[in-house]
Amino acid sequence: MRALEVVISLLLAAVPVIAANSAAEAPTCGALCIGLTTVHSGLCNVTDIECICTNAALNAEIQSCVTANCTIKEALQTQKYSYGLCGRQGEDRTALVWIVGITFGAIGLSAFGLRCLARLHLGAQSWGMDDWVMCAAILLMIPLCVLSVPLTQHGLGLDMWFVDFDDITSILYYYFWDEMLYITALALTKVSILFFYLKVFPKRSFRISAYVLIALNICYALGYDLVLTFQCSPIDGAWLSWDGEYNAKCVSINILGWSAAAINIALDLATIILPLPELFQLSMSWKKKVQILLMFMVGFFVTVVSAVRLRSLIEFGTTSNVTQDYVEVGYWSTIEVPVGIICACMPAIRSLFSQVFPSMFGTTRGDTKSGYTFGHSQGYPSKMTGPSRLASNAGSAQIRVKQEWTVMSNPAENRSDVELRSFEQQIAGADSPKRITFHKNRLDEWSKTEKSPTRGPRRQDSRDSHETVV
């Protein structure tokens, strides 16, 4: 024992700058492992601090001794002591944690704000179930991202041995709630997207599939929230049992993390793939197809983020450096949720931009109640001029009326120009003095009259203008 005291004294004497601080912080268990392992291994002289700090084989033996003979708290204190002894600096990623959280939280909130602005522009009738569900997702995203600030204040992003024991407990407590916020927010985001699908696609088989996915997402969120809540018995063991001194029985958080991530990726892919067959049947310009494709690429990016996050789960729950190794899984989670919300808000944002920048985003026929715009599978001409064109078209081919058109006519002395305008154009405030809606057989009768040699062209004035219901 006397020899060991001499060894430790020599070690401290070799580094007088840190001796006063490190000696007080070095636990007895750690000091014994450092001193005895150095003497017994013969790899380094006890006074050669540089050799002790840089010899990998010696450090591995010291680490094994500490792991086998010291408590978790003593091991952390020993690691902190060795860093000070060797003049090493730990890694600091605290800024990364809160910058990622606040930045992506602000972007997600901005996307939701534009969504609400689009609803305000279209009227209260455009607000639907998908918007209410998105409100719930936003209410969960905000604390998920904001919690990155107190997490860094307690030391997330620093090496665990530089963090106070009480702060480690606080970090794990915040993570306990973060896990449930993350799971639930992702599920609600997908549910919101699926409710949006129900607004746009009326096909019965599609709607059944959408409702099934909604039910699966709800079951996923409720199931994992319950499992995460009761992952330890008692419940507070989830944030108190890290030091091995608190008696609690816990399931493997690593298994929970991997299984939840795998199911989430499967639900992501199902939600993205579900509407693709319906979208391929739409007839629209290449510009609109590219815009819709870009929206779905954002959805695929969410899935990519989920896959990248899997790599950070390798050490999740089994690491010996919690406050450092939980950084990646934390910031990827705070990226994934806002990006998913952005994806869910993009159709509404596009609808808003199509009103503000029509030349860039264009306008398409769609569900005027929902406010989302998608092209129909059929295209129609918007204008025909002159009764002679109506007559020739009626005589050469049978007219097929596939949707209601309103014929706008302006009085003229000899003849009138006839313009077909859709219902949406009337709403937009087009100049329309009178309105005539033609049925097919009425067009045929009118065209025959025009071709009759005994009668001249019919003059149409304001008194002739009337409305016929199809």
**pLDDT tens profile 282-333:** 776 676 666 666 666 666 777 777 777 766 666 565 678 889 988 988 888 8
Q: What is the pLDDT of residues 153-195, one digit of tens each?
A: 999 999 999 999 999 999 999 999 999 999 999 999 999 999 9
**Do the domain assignments include residue 276?**
yes
CA–CA gap between residue 273 and residue 296 (Å, rounded): 9
pLDDT on residue 310: 67
Region 327-345: what's the mean pLDDT?
A: 90
pLDDT band for position 382 (cuts 50, 70, 90): very low
Please tell me whether residues 53 and 109 are part of one structural domain: no
pLDDT on residue 317: 59
pLDDT on residue 44: 83
Please tell me whether residues 154 and 225 are part of one structural domain: yes
Residue 198 has pLDDT above 70, yes or no: yes
Please tell me whether residues 53 and 150 are part of one structural domain: no
Which residues touch 467 (CB under 8 Å, ≥6 apart)?
435, 436, 437
Please tell me whether residues 229 and 278 are part of one structural domain: yes
Please tell me whether residues 212 and 130 are part of one structural domain: yes
Please tell me whether residues 396 and 352 are part of one structural domain: no
**Do the domain assignments include residue 457?**
no
pLDDT on residue 125: 83
- More confident of the two residues 386 and 405: 405
Give the domain extent around 156: 94-361
Please tell me whether residues 326 and 182 are part of one structural domain: yes
Count of structural domains within the chain: 3
pLDDT on residue 1: 45
Region 67-94: what's the mean pLDDT?
A: 90
Among candidate residues 36, 57, 86, the one where a domain is terminated: 86
pLDDT band for position 347 (cuts 50, 70, 90): confident
pLDDT on residue 256: 87
Residue 222 has pLDDT above 60, yes or no: yes
- More confident of the two residues 432 and 359: 359
Q: 258: number of CA atoms within 13 Å, CB side?
A: 10
pLDDT on residue 258: 86
- More confident of the two residues 223 and 363: 223
- More confident of the two residues 300 and 62: 62
Tell whether 48 is in a known binding site: yes
Region 51-61: what's the mean pLDDT?
A: 88
Among candidate residues 86, 110, 139, the one where a domain is terminated: 86
**Do the domain assignments include residue 371?**
no
Residue 433 has pLDDT above 60, yes or no: no
pLDDT on residue 155: 94
Please tell me whether residues 281 and 349 are part of one structural domain: yes
pLDDT on residue 353: 79
Please tell me whether residues 162 and 66 are part of one structural domain: no
Q: 198: number of CA atoms within 13 Å, CB side?
A: 18
Please tell me whether residues 139 and 205 are part of one structural domain: yes
Three-state SS string over the chain comes to CHHHHHHHHHHHHHCHHHHHHHHHHCCHHHHHHHHHHHHHHCCCCCCCHHHHHHCHHHHHHHHHHHHHHCCHHHHHHHHHHHHHHHCCCCCCCHHHHHHHHHHHHHHHHHHHHHHHHHHHHHCHHHCCHHHHHHHHHHHHHHHHHHCHHHHHHHCECECHHHCCHHHHHHHHHHHHHHHHHHHHHHHHHHHHHHHHHHHHCCCHHHHHHHHHHHHHHHHHHHHHHHHHHCCEECCCHHHHHHHCCCCCEECCHHHHHHHHHHHHHHHHHHHHHCCHHHHHCCCCCHHHHHHHHHHHHHHHHHHHHHHHHHHHCCCCCCCCCHHHHHHHHHHHHHHHHHHHHHHHHHHHHHHHHHHHCHHHHCCCCECCCCCCECCCCCCCCCCCCCHHHHHHHHHHCCCCCCCCCEEEECCCCCCCCEEEECHHHHHCCCCCCCEECCCHHHHHHHHHHHHCCCCCCCCCCCCCCCCCCC
Among candidate residues 39, 69, 86, the one where a domain is terminated: 86
Look at the block and give the residue holding tokens 């390798």: 314
- More confident of the two residues 445 and 175: 175
Q: Average model confidence (pLDDT) for the chain?
A: 75
Residue 36 has pLDDT above 50, yes or no: yes
